[in-house]
């Protein structure tokens, strides 16, 4: 079970607030980490796995012109995904992941380029990650980092940390 997911849910429950998740490269792993925590239903509203680029626009309201111009691997896309899932699922907080888990580069972005974002009542925050490892490592670390970013925004002192590695130094 994810320590970050437990901390996020505890903080959300303490505030009486809810969470919605938008995922691309993580393919449901963020929602799985959250729902693995007993009592998650007290704060978790649901998730949208918008793996295909056009679904980011159709389901989450990401600007189509932005997607055409920059592709899906973009910090503003992550921010709009987090805002969109928050709005569409009626949650106070939204988190999002988008990026390249591999095995191949995408839209000129190398494997390990990941954008995570959090949107809340007072705004939000995003981070670019440069992760190393195989596909599973990148996806797993993306989950940890987006939940840590949420914990930080909720006042629990987590952060996604801008990094060029997975943090194993």
Put simply, whether the predicted model's pTM sits higher than 0.85 gets the answer: yes
pLDDT of 35 strictly over 90: yes
Q: Which residue has the tokens 């969470």?
A: 19
pLDDT in tens, 123-149: 999 999 999 999 999 999 999 999 999
> What mean pLDDT is reported for the chain?
93
Burial class (CB in 10 A: 0-12, 13-18, 19+), 159: middle
Q: Tell me the CATH number for domain 3-153.
A: 3.90.950.20
Kindly indicate the confidence band of residue 157, based on its pLDDT and cuts at 50, 70 and 90: low
CA atoms of 87 and 108, how far apart (whole Å): 30
Give the pLDDT score at 156. Answer: 75
pLDDT in tens, 61-74: 999 999 999 999 99
Give the pLDDT score at 75. Answer: 98
CA atoms of 65 and 15, how far apart (whole Å): 36
């Amino acid at each position: 079970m994810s320590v970050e997911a437990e901390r996020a849910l505890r903080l959300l429950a303490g505030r009486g607030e809810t969470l919605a998740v938008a995922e691309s490269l993580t393919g449901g792993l963020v929602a799985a980490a959250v729902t693995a925590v007993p009592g998650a239903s007290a704060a978790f509203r649901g998730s949208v796995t918008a793996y295909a680029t056009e679904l980011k626009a159709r389901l989450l309201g990401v600007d189509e012109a932005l997607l055409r111009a920059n592709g899906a691997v973009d910090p503003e896309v992550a921010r709009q995904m987090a805002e969109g899932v928050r709005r569409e699922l009626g949650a106070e907080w939204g988190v999002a992941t988008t990026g390249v888990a591999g095995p191949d580069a995408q839209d000129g972005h190398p494997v390990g380029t990941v954008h995570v974002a959090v949107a809340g009542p007072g705004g939000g925050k995003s981070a670019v990650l440069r992760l190393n490892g195989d596909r599973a490592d990148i996806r797993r670390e993306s989950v940890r980092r987006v939940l840590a970013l949420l914990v930080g925004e909720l006042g629990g002192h987590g952060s996604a940390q801008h990094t060029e590695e997975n943090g194993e130094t």
